[in-house]
Amino acid sequence: MDDVLVTASLLFVAAAATAAVFNRDPARQAVVLSLLGLGLAVAFTVLQAPDVGLSQLGVGSALTPLMILLTVRKVRKVRRTEKGAGSGPGSGGGKRRR
Amino acid sequence: MSVLPYAIAGWIFLAGLYGLATSRDLVHAVGCLSVAQSSTYVLLLAVGYRRGGTAPVFSDVKPGVRVVDPVVQALALTDVVVGATVTALLLALVVQTAKRHGTVDPDELFELRG
Amino acid sequence: MSRRLRLGVLAAGLLATAALLAAAFLELPAFGGARHPYGDRAVEASLARHTANTVSAVNFDQRAFDTLGEETILFSAVLGTVVLLRQTRGEHREAPEPASVPPALRRYGLAALPVTLLTGLYVIAHGQLSPGGGFQGGVVVATAFHLLYVAVDYRALERVRPVGLYEIGDAAGEAAYVLLGAGGLLAGAAYLANVLPYGTFGTLASGGTVPLLNAAVGLEVSSAVVVLLAHFLRQALEIEGGGERE
Amino acid sequence: MNVWLGAAALLLAAGLGPALWGAVRGAPGRRVVAQNFATLLLCLLFLLLAQGYGRPAYVDLALVVSVLGPAGTLVFARLLLGEEDRDPPGVRWLTPVVVTGTAATVLPLCVVTGPGRATVKLLVIGVLLLAGGVVTTRAVRRG
């Protein structure tokens, strides 16, 4: 039974890692990376390393996605400001959701 | 079964490298780097695993039972958290690049340089 | 270099790396083998010092100096991020518009914040007993505050999070670790040696210096993550203006 | 043959596998729903593993998922979903799946554990999971 769980969780991790690489849009990649983090936590637990699993859960479930999505938002904002810079002083404002 | 976990660690590492090298967006590249990094944790824990062993934490089992290797776990656990802060540093560099050059596409950045 | 040539070079490099990895993996001891000399000695040493969680014992006792290095990497990474993400000339701050949040979500955020905080502190405090410790619990504690941003409003988060205080907390955690190490020298042993009485096995006060170093790491990690996220949030939500271009 | 580990393997293959499939393709709304499913199932998976390995200490992982999982989904709901992602497909299944899944996992575990501190911890995790599931469904629905 142990071997079945180890194999299944590692295959899940390998699939999630491959999918994360082939999702080229960073915001959508963040969702896949969060699933990769959860999968790694399971794999660590079935390899009898709950300490590492906890560490991975803390980092992967909320912290890393939050940082990536905030970076994506900032990069988009900078690009928008640059594009609108020629058209007048009203650029860069606009309505945005937070 | 005896090399499958090592092979999976190798696969994750190579997949991460491939994504890093072909990335068209620096934020995506940072994500791929963290994928490649996670392969090291899988490899370390696979090396330390012992069949039929349990976690080397004696809060709810008696000392003397068969346990897996705690040394590799200690190595992996600190690196997971420290790795996240290094990811943050790289993302901060990406923000700075976007501000300076108005793009985060490595190819366009290369052309800007001349 | 053309795109096709680049892909060719990449493919050759990846294949060569794959071959090297395969050769190395075939020489490794088989997965799940019974022989773990370092692990067995680490468990013995940890039990001799009354620490139930041998992983924490390795981190904060047997390899405490290595953890000091890791902590310093963390500290410098945070320092670098803060420097890179500071407000520059030509940028100004604009207060973001308040978010409209359904009352149920707001109630959940306010109720889950103390529960998450408590969970994080529990994970830190039981580092030497059950799975957990300063690294893991610190991240949970820091995430707890950001429930206010995702479930309530950015301004609610800003009210409970004076960033300056957390910057001090980050430095204090690092300093506490270094000074606790020096305590070993004062007691006439080596730097970061476990010089305190080991206590009763399986209680919160067991393990000598392990719980103290663990708490120092918890303080540093939680403050560090709060500071990091504060700067990312400020850049993404408040700071406007492109900054100076070359 | 350990029933709990068997159930965990089944949950991993039949629960987390499809969740990964949903999270890697399609519109952001669909992906976030899949991510939310994954965190909720993960919590149940950790409870089953803790029982299967006979290690009550592993329950801490489920506790951490039950508070951080919803936080992660709320991050995506706040920063990734837009107006066009209102009411993504599959979201109406979230609450029923959470309620049945939690009841089907936590109640048998409580019976096996018997009264005591461990049961209280299990019930706390169950309540957190239900509250998190209901609230994240609302947040994802709004887009």
What is the structure's pLDDT at C73? Answer: 93
Is A29 part of any domain?
Answer: yes
Summarised one tens digit per residue, pLDDT across range C222-231 is 999 999 999 9
- pLDDT at position A1 over 80: no
Nearest-Cα distance to chain A for B71, in Å, is 11
Q: What whole-number distance in Å separates Cα of residue D32 and Cα of residue A20?
A: 15
What is the structure's pLDDT at A94? Answer: 38
- pLDDT at position B113 over 90: no
Contact across the interface for D57 and B54, Cβ inside 8 Å: no
**DSSP 3-state of C53:** strand
The number of C-alpha atoms within 13 Å of A88 and in the hemisphere containing its C-beta is: 2
Q: What is the ipTM of this complex?
A: 0.93
Q: What whole-number distance in Å separates Cα of residue A70 and Cα of residue A81?
A: 17
Question: Is the C-alpha dihedral spanning B32, B38, B43, B44 positive or negative?
Answer: positive
**DSSP 3-state of C239:** strand
What is the structure's pLDDT at A81? Answer: 81
Contact across the interface for C140 and A77, Cβ inside 8 Å: no
* The domain made up of B4-113 is a member of CATH 1.10.287.3510: yes
Q: Average pLDDT, stretch B89-100?
A: 92
Structure-block tokens of residue D15: 């629960």
Q: Do D43 and D69 touch, CB atoms closer than 8 A?
A: yes
Q: Average pLDDT, stretch C124-132?
A: 88
Q: In terms of CA atoms, which chain B residue is nearest residue D52?
A: B54
Nearest-Cα distance to chain A for D8, in Å, is 8
Nearest-Cα distance to chain C for B56, in Å, is 6
Q: How many domains does chain A have?
A: 1
What is the structure's pLDDT at C1? Answer: 67
Largest CA distance in chain C: 67
Q: Which residues of A touch B68 (CB under 8 A)?
A: 47-49
Q: Do D138 and C104 touch, CB atoms closer than 8 A?
A: yes
Contact across the interface for C85 and B86, Cβ inside 8 Å: no
Is A31 part of any domain?
Answer: yes
Nearest-Cα distance to chain B for C55, in Å, is 5
What is the structure's pLDDT at C87? Answer: 84
Q: In terms of CA atoms, which chain C residue is nearest residue A7?
A: C31
Q: What whole-number distance in Å separates Cα of residue D12 and Cα of residue D121?
A: 23
Structure-block tokens of residue C243: 């900054």
Helices marked H in chain D — which ranges? 3-11, 17-23, 28-52, 59-79, 94-113, 117-142
Break chain B into its structural domains and give their ranges: 4-113
> What element of type H or E holds C93?
strand C92-93
Q: How many domains does chain C have?
A: 1
Band of residue D94 on the pLDDT scale cut at 50, 70, 90: confident
Is C223 part of any domain?
Answer: yes
Share of chain D above pLDDT 90, in %: 50
Break chain D into its structural domains and give their ranges: 3-142
Burial class (CB in 10 A: 0-12, 13-18, 19+), B82: buried
- Could you identify the residue written with the tokens 């709950």? A50
Residue D138 is nearest to which of C105, C143, C150, comparing CB atoms? Answer: C105
CB contact A85 to C (< 8 Å): yes
Q: Do B68 and B55 touch, CB atoms closer than 8 A?
A: yes
Which among D2, D3, D10, D12 is the top mutation candidate for probing chain A, defined by the most A β-carbons within 10 Å of its own β-carbon? D12
Output the average pLDDT for chain C: 88
Listed in sequence order, the residues at least 6 apart from C125 whose beta carbon sits closer than 8 Å to its beta carbon are C137, C204, C211
- pLDDT at position B1 over 70: no
Summarised one tens digit per residue, pLDDT across range A42-95 is 999 999 999 999 999 999 988 999 999 999 999 998 888 877 664 434 333 333
Q: Average pLDDT, stretch D49-67?
A: 92
What is the structure's pLDDT at C33? Answer: 85
Summarised one tens digit per residue, pLDDT across range A14-42 is 999 999 999 999 999 999 999 999 999 99
Distances (CA, A) of C26 to A3, B37, B109, D41: 19, 22, 41, 36
Output the average pLDDT for chain B: 90
Q: Which residues of C touch A59 (CB under 8 A)?
A: 139
- pLDDT at position B13 over 90: yes
What is the structure's pLDDT at B40? Answer: 94
Contact across the interface for D82 and A12, Cβ inside 8 Å: no
Summarised one tens digit per residue, pLDDT across range D10-33 is 999 999 999 999 999 888 888 999
Q: Do C106 and C151 touch, CB atoms closer than 8 A?
A: yes
Listed in sequence order, the residues at least 6 apart from C146 whose beta carbon sits closer than 8 Å to its beta carbon are A62, A66, C157, C229, D71
Q: What whole-number distance in Å separates Cα of residue D143 and Cα of residue D139?
A: 7
Neighbours of chain A (3+ CB pairs under 8 A): B, C, D
Is C30 part of any domain?
Answer: no
Is A86 part of any domain?
Answer: no
Residue A51 is nearest to which of C133, C146, C228, comparing CB atoms? Answer: C133
Task: Of C15, C6, C4, give the one whose Cα is nearest residue B14.
Answer: C15
What is the structure's pLDDT at C189? Answer: 82
- pLDDT at position D89 over 70: yes
Structure-block tokens of residue D104: 């089907």
Contact across the interface for C235 and A54, Cβ inside 8 Å: no
Contact across the interface for A62 and D31, Cβ inside 8 Å: no
CB contact A64 to D (< 8 Å): no
Contact across the interface for D74 and C104, Cβ inside 8 Å: no
Structural domain boundaries enclosing A46: 2-76
CB contact D13 to A (< 8 Å): yes
CB contact A7 to C (< 8 Å): no
Structural domain boundaries enclosing C195: 52-240
Helices marked H in C28-132 — which ranges? 37-48, 54-57, 64-84, 103-125
Summarised one tens digit per residue, pLDDT across range C201-211 is 877 778 888 88
Contact across the interface for B57 and C53, Cβ inside 8 Å: yes
What is the structure's pLDDT at C92? Answer: 84
Is C1 part of any domain?
Answer: no
- pLDDT at position B114 over 70: no
CB contact A50 to D (< 8 Å): yes
Band of residue B102 on the pLDDT scale cut at 50, 70, 90: confident
Share of chain C above pLDDT 70, in %: 98
Nearest-Cα distance to chain C for A12, in Å, is 18
Q: What whole-number distance in Å separates Cα of residue C193 and Cα of residue C216?
A: 16
CB contact D61 to A (< 8 Å): yes
Q: Provide the terminal-to-terminal Cα distance of chain C, rounded to the nearest Å.
A: 26
Is C181 part of any domain?
Answer: yes
Listed in sequence order, the residues at least 6 apart from D92 whose beta carbon sits closer than 8 Å to its beta carbon are none
Residue D58 DSSP class: G
Is A19 part of any domain?
Answer: yes
Structure-block tokens of residue B54: 């349990």
